[in-house]
């Protein structure tokens, strides 16, 4: 392979994404604590995470202030990721774990490729969690290869690796990013139950994560 297996973005639910020959290779490293290199600079490495790698400790955005200092000029009550398709429509407007507000971040670069990630929770601890990673989408446009992970309010984890993302607007750090996503996510508990979920997002962009070596 053109690149070694390494943990690139520990906060993205323990998924390492390595861009090899133009292809995105997705490896699930479990808790996010293993792999070569460990967590990226500035990412959270403390707090309760689940054994399956879907927990606030493993997916916190790389912002030492939890995004609040980067986004002081915005109305933080407007920041959100919507979830439609799992019962009543939900509006996730909280950060997760140590993250204080819903956030958007450009990730990676270098040998491991790049992309854009979004993240929001129903509450700082517990409740629904939504995460979207769109490889190679760093300006307004679309992606049909997004990694979408959703934790329902009952604690069941769902995932899709062919989600659709539309990025309508991407401001500078401290400004707004807007868009929408849709995906048919599959239960990680039984591998059969599916949900067709979609929604819009309005998020604050925090400083970009550094490229991997």
Query: Span 84-88, mean pLDDT?
Result: 94
pLDDT class of 51 with cuts at 50, 70, 90: very low
Share of the chain above pLDDT 90, in %: 51
Which is more confidently placed, 105 or 66? Answer: 105
Separation of alpha carbons 96 and 74, rounded Å: 19
Which is more confidently placed, 44 or 208? Answer: 208
57 membership: H or E segment, kind and range:
helix 56-59
* Per-residue pLDDT tens digits for 93-113: 998 877 778 999 998 777 667
* Per-residue pLDDT tens digits for 138-155: 999 999 999 999 999 999
Q: What is the residue extent of each domain of the chain?
A: 66-205
Confidence at residue 70, expressed as pLDDT on a 0 to 100 scale: 67
Query: Among candidates 127, 125, 85, 77, which has minimal Cα distance to 102?
Result: 77
């Amino acid at each position: 392979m053109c690149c070694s297996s390494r943990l690139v973005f520990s906060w993205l639910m323990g998924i390492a994404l390595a861009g090899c020959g133009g292809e995105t290779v997705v490896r699930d490293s479990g808790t996010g604590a293993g792999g070569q290199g460990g967590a990226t600079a500035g990412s959270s490495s403390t707090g309760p995470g689940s054994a399956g790698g879907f927990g606030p400790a493993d997916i916190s955005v790389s912002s030492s202030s939890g995004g609040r200092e980067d986004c002081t000029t915005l109305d933080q009550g407007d920041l959100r990721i919507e979830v439609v398709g799992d019962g009543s429509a939900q509006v996730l407007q909280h950060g997760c774990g140590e993250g204080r507000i819903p956030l958007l971040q450009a990730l990676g670069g270098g040998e491991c490729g790049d992309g854009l990630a979004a993240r929001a929770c129903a509450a700082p601890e517990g409740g629904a969690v939504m995460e979207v990673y769109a490889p190679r989408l760093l300006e307004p446009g679309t992606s049909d290869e997004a990694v979408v992970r959703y934790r329902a309010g009952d604690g069941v984890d769902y995932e899709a690796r062919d989600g659709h993302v539309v990025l309508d607007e991407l401001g500078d750090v401290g400004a707004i990013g807007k868009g929408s996503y849709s995906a048919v996510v599959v239960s990680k508990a039984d591998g059969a139950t599916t949900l067709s979920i979609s929604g819009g997002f309005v998020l604050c962009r925090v400083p970009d994560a550094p490229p991997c070596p």
